[in-house]
Structure 1
Amino acid sequence: MTDTERLLEFHKIKEKLIELACTDKAKEKIQDLTPYLSETKVKAKLRETTEAKAMIETCGNPPLTALQGIEAWIKLAEQGGCLTPEQLEAVSITFSAVKRMKDYLNRGKSYEIGMAYYEENLEPLDDIREELNQKIRGGKIDDYASKRLKTLREAIDRTDAKMHEKADSVIKANKQYMADSFSTVRNGRLCIPVKKEYKFRISGSVIDKSSTGNTLFIEPSSVAKLYEEMQELRIDEENEEIRILYTLTAMLSDKAEVIQQNNHTIEKLDFMFAKAKLSIEYDGIPPEVNTERYIRLRNARHPLMDRKVNVPLNFEIGKGVNGVIITGPNTGGKTVAIKTVALTCMMAQCGLHVTCEKAVICMNNAILCDIGDGQNLSENLSTFSAHITNVLDILRTVSRDSLVIMDELGSGTDPAEGMGIAIAILEELKKSGALFLVTTHYPEVKEYAKQESGIVNARMTFDKESLKPLYQLVIGEAGESCAFYIAGKLGMPARMLERAAKAAYAESYNARWGGITGGEEFQKTSHPRIQKAKKVSRQENAMKYQLGDSVMVYPDKKIGIVCQTANEKGVLRVQLQDKKIWISHKRIKLQVAARQLYPEDYDFSIIFDSVEKRKARHQMERKYVDTELVYDES
């Protein structure tokens, strides 16, 4: 699929055509379909589509068939191979389809439709078809395919019946030895079920045994003799079937050239009828084709858009006007308009009918497109870079016989520079002599088109009251983006619109501003306030630990008791089993609070102080003594 096909969505037209075709070859031809460069060939292909459409409208849908595998089977027949009954039956069905198609085309002759004379290229091979129908039925060789086959199959049936009779008689005569009262087939042999302990009472061969081993399946000797006769009959039957299949295959091999001609004709007709069905579905018409570089479309529709909502396009270019610059509001239909023109030209040049009331199409040696956002992340290209790269490729290949469409010319960069580049590109396109359609928002480009010969402005209409695009193209007039009207209608305040107009048009803003009404001033709406997290100081976190609290010390996970509360740095002292340590409050976790472990006014010196220290403190409380109280730092 080429970039042009993808950009114009021509691949979707192909997909629809493929759905309408029956044969694989026709589908392959549609997949490879590209614009023809010969005016004669284009007109011939359009005539085929028109005649195929007339056939369907007068005679109904054609009786086409898929023809799957036929070509390979005929090649096998030519190489001396042998076709299966299923394959021969499929060939017979194909012959019947050829006959129906021949009759269908014959009916078209009475309406003087030229395509109907393809009937002369079809040979239904009635004699071979009747032979196949007589000898192959339901994917099998019929009993009456030959007298010998009929005789052999009757003999096989009689022998099979005798075998069952013999087996049943053995069962009846030896009921006391049987594990069951009926015969069965094991490993392709007719057997009777005999109890294991009586296996020597029955004359015959053990063929199989039950899963438990208690029952043996024995083929009686009398049945075995008949089985040998049966095998000989089946060999004779198989040989006779092979002879019949080879005979029928040889008949096809003798007519291989005729069969292949039939297939090619059916495939060609299938391709033509697919185009006709598409025309009927899209309500298409055959366009006029010229090489005079002139295009005129009346009430053209984009074929992939719903006709109920698609506004018809009227367009004309050529005869002194080589370029059309389309302006107008966003979502106003500019891109759809240029794609409709290009897609209509491509379809016509591929021999397809176009969705117009009337169409005059010129032959193009290439349809060159720059549409959409060409940003390429894998190649690190911005939208503007990708557009320029594509445009430069177009300018290198464009010629007088080309059709060029460019969307949003010069966009994606600084407006002043983008405008200059747009005009330079238009100058180059004009020099090439090609027909070109360009969409833009630059007012300078509109002025350029107004002053330049051979280039005209066009605009897409827009209802300023309802803010709805009307999707109608008016050639000869420049359009406006209508951004101020749209913004004002949607509620932008007047002061903001006035500021925008001043910024956009400077001194001439009054002329541009007149008549535009803005909305009311913004009524501010409130949103929920953000709730900030309260900052907790390190000191506050540390001070929650009280004297006597049981804590877990990390990372060793040892249990200790707070023996001295935190200082201003958040460091506190903890009594472990064998020592006291200073530690940051961040490395401990409360296990049990002191108030849960000790009564109120509990004397913690009993836990943390030595006996000597407690005696000294007691004496100091009674009277002054000349004793130095030393704290244990261990």
Structure 2
Amino acid sequence: MNVEQQIEFDKIKELWMNLAATQWAKEQIKEKAFCLDEGSLRKQLKDTTNSRDLMEKLGAPPLQNLTEIKEILTIAETGDCLTPYQLERVEKVLVMINRLKKYLQGGKGYDNPLAYYEENLNVPEELQEEISRQIRNGSVDDYASKELSQLRNQIVKCEEQMKQKADQIMRANKESMADHYATYRNGRICIPVKKEYKHKIPGSVIDKSSTGNTLFIEPAGVAKYYDELQALKIGEENEIYRILYTLTAFVSSSAPMLHANIAVIEKLDFVFSKGKLSIDLGGAEPAINTRRKILLKDARHPLMDPNINIPLKFETGESVRGIIITGPNTGGKTVAIKTVMLNCMMAQCGLHVTCKDADICMNNSYLCDIGDNQNIAENLSTFSAHMKNVLEVLSEADKDSLVIMDELGSGTDPAEGMGIAIAILEELRKSGCLFLVTTHYPQVKEYADKAPDIMNARMTFDKETLRPTYQMVLGEAGESCAFYIADKLGMPGEMLKTAIRAAYGEDAVKDYPFRKESAVIEKRKSRKISKEKKEKANLNLSTKYKLGDSVMIYPDKKIGIVCKPINEKGILRVQLPGKKIWINHKRVKLHVAATELYPEDYDFSILFETVENRKIKHKMERKYTEEIIRYETV
């Protein structure tokens, strides 16, 4: 049962993947499954909201595919020499990291939590400068080193001397020349000599014309320059490799920092891809509950044109566990149940939903039986596949499941199909799951009026234009074997009795030869929903961490010391080796309390203030001074 494909969530994933820049983020999206942890899900939804807010204020972040840079770092770390092209790719990524840091710094002005990931991005500035200075337009620049510059100047001078010498010889022997211009053959400069004057020009025959009447001779006076030129080019090549190997070693030494940057960028790419999808679909952040309640206001199918899609208002839960949708077979019923399940699954995957407002419960499973493209030629094999799927749904459904079924009981004789539909609905009701079912049987509508926890619904259509409308004709095939097939496939006897009684009455139940009268639906072990532990409302954040507390910073698990407690925005200042950072308290965990590390009257200025400031403060305590204590500003 491929639920994602049946409700078209796989198409949502395709749209989502196209909005990610890195291959890692694309793979995460491809494998993304709905979340069962309430706390984690709320964080995922908040990340989506924060990323959308940031992009609406600052535009799309500067992200790019990192597959190539990973391969380049592997080459550098294994000791192979990087090419100028590969070094330019490294520089391009370093420029992107710098731009991303500036982008996130801009987000700090809006107190966006994602902006503080900027603290985790570090650029090896010297490496970027060296590559920019020495590599240009896909090759090593002339001025990458003094020696290379001198060698290339000498090469140009030598080539010019060779040409001048060849021209001089041609002018002195005009009658012997077959043409007025020197030419290059096999990398050597040659003059075109008539065959009969071959012995008049001292030198080596390098080539000849197709007729053999013209010989291309490298004059002896030019050859000495050629040997000098080859020596210069060997020197040039050696210098180029020296520069490339030096830069490669620089890249290799910076690889750990670059790998850490890549990990942060990939995580941000995944989060921002959710925000981009929300913007493209016009989504909104849903509320999440574990009370088995679903409320959708002005819900849209995310794959339909919003200009022609009529918004859906839907509510279930608490006193109503199941909804049976009836009405003309216009296609509207199927779209409605898909819209509900698709929005619920999107929400539980940390995505925004295509609703004006939504309050969606967490589900431990999404189960469906949707028979699209139905026609009057439905035969025994179609019904068998339908029943197998229904029985699989019933075996998995429990109180935390969301189930949708389209055209329940179709594909067979209307009377028997109606009975089986009621039996399935009765089993769904007993399981306690939330379910949405579409049907065309009037008897099922009557059943819903009497059954507890079930409500009828209808889909309307334009009676004047009859658009859209699709009519399904049933019962034109031969005799149906619905009860027999259901019995053979394992439907319990009690369910079959309910079906036969609904279709033909009590007398028919007594005469039916049950194969598995004592069989029951075997329930599979269901997964548990982990509810979020609520923080106490009166918790005072300002007392959560104290000056001098040793804390661990996530996700990097770095150890730092609190140098400024949490402010009213939930941000605290932490001293790390070589720098101080501002960070949200949710990314910090107490490692060792200050009371365990320092004496009660310990002077923390020793740790956090500069020597200059401490000297000035000491002077102020003793006498008047015009010196000023300077503190860094945020």
TM-score with structure 2 length normalisation?
A: 0.71
Q: Is 1:284–1:353's contact at 8 Å kept on the other side of the alignment?
A: yes
Q: Is 1:375–1:386's contact at 8 Å kept on the other side of the alignment?
A: no
Q: Distance in 2 between matches of 1:326 and 1:400?
A: 21
Q: CA offset at residue 346 of structure 1?
A: 1.1
Q: Distance in 1 between matches of 2:18 and 2:462?
A: 40
Q: Distance in 2 between matches of 1:347 and 1:430?
A: 25
- What do the CA deviations read for 1:436-478 (whole angstroms, capped 9, x no partner)? 11000111111111111111111112344453579xxxxxxxx
Q: Distance in 2 between matches of 1:269 and 1:130?
A: 26
Which range moves more in the overlay, 446-455 or 62-71? 62-71
Instruction: Indicate the SS of the match to 2:353.
Output: coil
Q: CA offset at residue 381 of structure 1?
A: 6.2
Q: CA offset at residue 31 of structure 1?
A: 2.0
Query: Partner residue of 2:18?
Result: 19
- What do the CA deviations read for 1:377-435 (whole angstroms, capped 9, x no partner)? xxx96332221121122122222221111000000100110011111111221222211
Query: Partner residue of 1:139?
Result: 138
Instruction: Indicate the SS of the match to 1:359.
Output: strand
Q: Is 1:287–1:354's contact at 8 Å kept on the other side of the alignment?
A: yes
Q: Is 2:330–2:461's contact at 8 Å kept on the other side of the alignment?
A: no
Query: Partner residue of 2:204?
Result: 205
Query: Partner residue of 1:317?
Result: 316
Query: Partner residue of 2:566?
Result: none
Q: Which amino acid aligns with 2:116?
A: Y
Query: Partner residue of 1:248?
Result: 247
1:508-527 alignment to 2 at 5 Å? none
Instruction: Indicate the SS of the match to 2:111.
Output: coil
Q: Distance in 2 between matches of 1:435 and 1:197?
A: 103
Q: Distance in 2 between matches of 1:5 and 1:176?
A: 86
Q: Distance in 2 between matches of 1:381 and 1:257?
A: 62
Q: Which amino acid aligns with 1:321?
A: V
Query: Partner residue of 1:79?
Result: 78
1:118 is aligned to 2:100 = no
- What do the CA deviations read for 1:563-593 (whole angstroms, capped 9, x no partner)? xxxxxxxxxxxxxxxxxxxxxxxxxxxxxxx
Q: Distance in 2 between matches of 1:193 and 1:68?
A: 53
Query: Partner residue of 1:417?
Result: 416
Q: Which amino acid aligns with 1:131?
A: E
Q: Distance in 1 between matches of 2:152 and 2:385?
A: 76
Q: How many residues in Structure 1 have an aligned counterpart in Structure 2?
A: 470
Q: Distance in 1 between matches of 2:210 and 2:345?
A: 73
Q: Which amino acid aligns with 1:354?
A: V
Query: Partner residue of 1:64?
Result: 63
- What do the CA deviations read for 1:248-274 (whole angstroms, capped 9, x no partner)? 111111111110111122222222222
Q: Is 2:325–2:437's contact at 8 Å kept on the other side of the alignment?
A: yes
Instruction: Indicate the SS of the match to 2:449.
Output: helix
Query: Partner residue of 2:171?
Result: 172
Q: CA offset at residue 332 of structure 1?
A: 5.4
Q: CA offset at residue 167 of structure 1?
A: 1.1
- What do the CA deviations read for 1:86-142 (whole angstroms, capped 9, x no partner)? 110111011001100100000000000001111111112222111110111111111
Q: CA offset at residue 375 of structure 1?
A: 8.1
Q: Which amino acid aligns with 1:191?
A: C
Instruction: Indicate the SS of the match to 2:238.
Output: helix
Q: Is 1:369–1:404's contact at 8 Å kept on the other side of the alignment?
A: yes
Query: Partner residue of 2:343?
Result: 344
Identity %: 59
Q: CA offset at residue 168 of structure 1?
A: 1.0
Instruction: Indicate the SS of the match to 1:63.
Output: coil
1:190 is aligned to 2:158 = no
- What do the CA deviations read for 1:535-589 (whole angstroms, capped 9, x no partner)? xxxxxxxxxxxxxxxxxxxxxxxxxxxxxxxxxxxxxxxxxxxxxxxxxxxxxxx
Q: Is 1:461–1:469's contact at 8 Å kept on the other side of the alignment?
A: no
Query: Partner residue of 1:603?
Result: none
Instruction: Indicate the SS of the match to 1:422.
Output: helix
Q: Distance in 1 between matches of 2:185 and 2:4?
A: 64
Q: Which has the larger radius of gyration?
A: 1
Query: Partner residue of 2:364?
Result: 365
Q: Is 1:192–1:218's contact at 8 Å kept on the other side of the alignment?
A: yes
Q: Distance in 2 between matches of 1:20 and 1:81?
A: 34
Q: Distance in 1 between matches of 2:427 and 2:436?
A: 14
Q: Is 1:375–1:382's contact at 8 Å kept on the other side of the alignment?
A: no
Q: Distance in 1 between matches of 2:113 and 2:40?
A: 16
Q: Distance in 1 between matches of 2:380 and 2:261?
A: 53
Q: Distance in 2 between matches of 1:404 and 1:321?
A: 14
Q: Distance in 2 between matches of 1:381 and 1:128?
A: 70
Q: Is 2:301–2:335's contact at 8 Å kept on the other side of the alignment?
A: yes
Query: Partner residue of 1:149?
Result: 148
Q: CA offset at residue 292 of structure 1?
A: 2.0
Q: Distance in 1 between matches of 2:451 and 2:273?
A: 45
Query: Partner residue of 1:50?
Result: 49
Q: Distance in 2 between matches of 1:277 and 1:77?
A: 34
Q: Distance in 1 between matches of 2:304 and 2:374?
A: 26
1:93-112 alignment to 2 at 5 Å? 93-112=92-111
Q: Which amino acid aligns with 2:81?
A: C
1:379-398 alignment to 2 at 5 Å? 382-398=381-397
Query: Partner residue of 1:331?
Result: 330
Instruction: Indicate the SS of the match to 2:459.
Output: strand
Query: Partner residue of 1:278?
Result: 277
- What do the CA deviations read for 1:506-530 (whole angstroms, capped 9, x no partner)? xxxxxxxxxxxxxxxxxxxxxxxxx
Query: Partner residue of 1:621?
Result: none
Q: CA offset at residue 70 of structure 1?
A: 0.2
Q: Distance in 2 between matches of 1:102 and 1:304?
A: 35
Q: CA offset at residue 227 of structure 1?
A: 1.0
Instruction: Indicate the SS of the match to 2:193.
Output: strand
Q: Which amino acid aligns with 1:331?
A: T
- What do the CA deviations read for 1:331-368 (whole angstroms, capped 9, x no partner)? 15110000000100111111111110111111122211
Q: Distance in 2 between matches of 1:170 and 1:322?
A: 103
1:4-15 alignment to 2 at 5 Å? 4-15=3-14
Q: Which amino acid aligns with 2:93?
A: T
Instruction: Indicate the SS of the match to 2:460.
Output: strand
Structure 1, unaligned stretches of length 5 or more? 471-480, 484-634
Q: Distance in 2 between matches of 1:81 and 1:292?
A: 59
Q: Is 2:170–2:177's contact at 8 Å kept on the other side of the alignment?
A: yes
Q: Distance in 2 between matches of 1:303 and 1:135?
A: 50
- What do the CA deviations read for 1:171-205 (whole angstroms, capped 9, x no partner)? 11111111111111111111111122222221111
Q: Distance in 2 between matches of 1:301 and 1:95?
A: 42
Q: Distance in 1 between matches of 2:440 and 2:285?
A: 35
Q: CA offset at residue 215 of structure 1?
A: 1.5
Instruction: Indicate the SS of the match to 1:64.
Output: coil
Q: CA offset at residue 45 of structure 1?
A: 1.4
Q: CA offset at residue 38 of structure 1?
A: 1.9
- What do the CA deviations read for 1:260-296 (whole angstroms, capped 9, x no partner)? 1111222222222221111111110011112222111
Instruction: Indicate the SS of the match to 2:314.
Output: strand
Q: Is 2:409–2:420's contact at 8 Å kept on the other side of the alignment?
A: yes
Q: Is 1:83–1:249's contact at 8 Å kept on the other side of the alignment?
A: yes
Q: Distance in 2 between matches of 1:76 and 1:195?
A: 54
Q: Which amino acid aligns with 1:306?
A: D
1:505-544 alignment to 2 at 5 Å? none
Q: Distance in 2 between matches of 1:381 and 1:139?
A: 67
TM-score with structure 1 length normalisation?
A: 0.71
Runs of 4+ in 1 over 4 A off after TM superposition: none
Q: Distance in 1 between matches of 2:288 and 2:358?
A: 9
Query: Partner residue of 2:624?
Result: none
Q: Is 1:35–1:350's contact at 8 Å kept on the other side of the alignment?
A: yes
Q: Distance in 2 between matches of 1:122 and 1:156?
A: 44
CA separation of 1:381 and 1:51: change in aligned 2, threshold 3 A: farther
Q: Distance in 1 between matches of 2:156 and 2:107?
A: 52
Q: Distance in 2 between matches of 1:40 and 1:213?
A: 87
Query: Partner residue of 1:516?
Result: none
Q: Distance in 1 between matches of 2:92 and 2:468?
A: 56
Q: Is 1:374–1:383's contact at 8 Å kept on the other side of the alignment?
A: no
Q: Which amino acid aligns with 2:305?
A: D
